[in-house]
Structure 1
Amino acid sequence: MEDEMRAFHQQAMHVRKARRLYHLLMMKRRDHLQKILEEFKAICERLEKVQKTNKTMGIAGGTTSAVGGVAAVVGIALAPVTMGTSLIATAVGAGIVATSAGGFGAKVAKANKKIVNRETVEKLVNDYKSDVADPERCLNYILCLMKELQRHNIGKLSRAGAHPDALRMADLSNNLHNSRQMSPNNPGGVTSESMLKQFEMEFDEYFTEKKGQKLNKSNKSKFSGRVGTLVKNLQEELNYLTQMWETLT
């Protein structure tokens, strides 16, 4: 009985200390983690905007060129011989319109290439991993210890004079277990760290070989969708970490 009481007290005190650490970690890091997720979301929004802009410019540029070309042909066919100057102006003007549309589209495309690069995404991934790893591991440690507390006969230990603080930790453990909050929301309890590592392994699929920086044009839509899925899963995990923080505080 003495050995069991000692083990119970030790496990309960470890839970108490880990709760304090978890509280400090979440208090200092939660807002920064949320900010990084917002930056990931901004990447998706920019990529989607680029896709819409490029599509719109493609349609507008093609239409303008076609209209300009038709105007030039009609102008040549109908213009009097004595209006050679006007004819040149008409033809050149149509050409300028067409060229300007194409030139503007090229500038937009060139600017779009600079919107997302590998270095930026890697920094976000590394920053998130470094901030989320400790809270996740700390919470996992707390939950494992709480499961150990549940193995004890709390009623028997209480009658034998167990410390009130240790009994409170056991009650908290039972309350969490009964409310089904002791398992992460993500299927299989996948951590944010493991999700980000998997995402890193896919970088070569999305970025060009040239300096490994630029996002492949053909993969922009796919990359946007992948980032969107990642952010959704990371947000669910962060919500779970926050929920547990509020419950354990």
Structure 2
Amino acid sequence: MRLTFLGTGSAMPTGRRAQSGTLLTADGTALLVDCGSGVLDALARTDIGYEGVDTLLLTHHHLDHVSDLDVLMKARWLAGETELTVAGPPGTTALVEDLLSVHEYMQDRLDLTLVDIEGTTFSLAGFEGERMETRHSMQCFAYRLTPASGGPTIALSGDSEAFAELVEFADGAAVLVHDCSFPDDVDVSNHPTPTSLGAALAGADAAVGRVYLTHLYPHTEGRHEEMLDSLGEEYDGDVRFAEDGLSITVDSV
């Protein structure tokens, strides 16, 4: 399985990071998780391109996670790829329908499958998934995703404060992609800082592989080593910052 970071930024652009977007590929299938501003351009730079991605999974509906959704729909239509599945928390169907009501000329251009994830497990684009609700300012899901044919699991936190139960949800994952939006000196809710995330990682009854930090606000620029040191005072595992364009092969823990 391959994991590619398309966008590791946040709602405040830096000029160096696209907003949230992650690409998972396994066994000839591809799944895009979130599609914030700049993600479609990043996807176009991959070998698979937006033509090769017919399934989008949303963690939640904040703009920095969905703002390239209508752009993706139009690009696939223009490329002659008219099938697209969009799945996510309840309200995802209404979100897409509302976008199409604004852009009326796009109505009926695509063969859309819209999925509001109601249960705790689901199957999507060759992956078996589980979801958990996070602690954020709107309903947001974290996900565990495993190729249907078997293999390693990737867990993605979505946007969330750090808490042990979320880390335990990722137990056994080869990679945990986790929000770490701000350094410790920023007073913030709905997102973690390094110390709070380190404490959650250390306090959880879970074994996870490498942790990648993402959803990075401009406040984090130039402070990565300081943030890793703060997190490392609580947790001694393998933690790294994600970067746009980073693509890794994921092996089992």
Name the TM-score class by shorter chain.
Answer: under 0.3
TM-score by length of 2: 0.21
Q: Which has the larger radius of gyration?
A: 1
TM-score by length of 1: 0.21
Q: By percentage of residues, which structure has more strand?
A: 2
Q: By percentage of residues, which structure has more helix?
A: 1
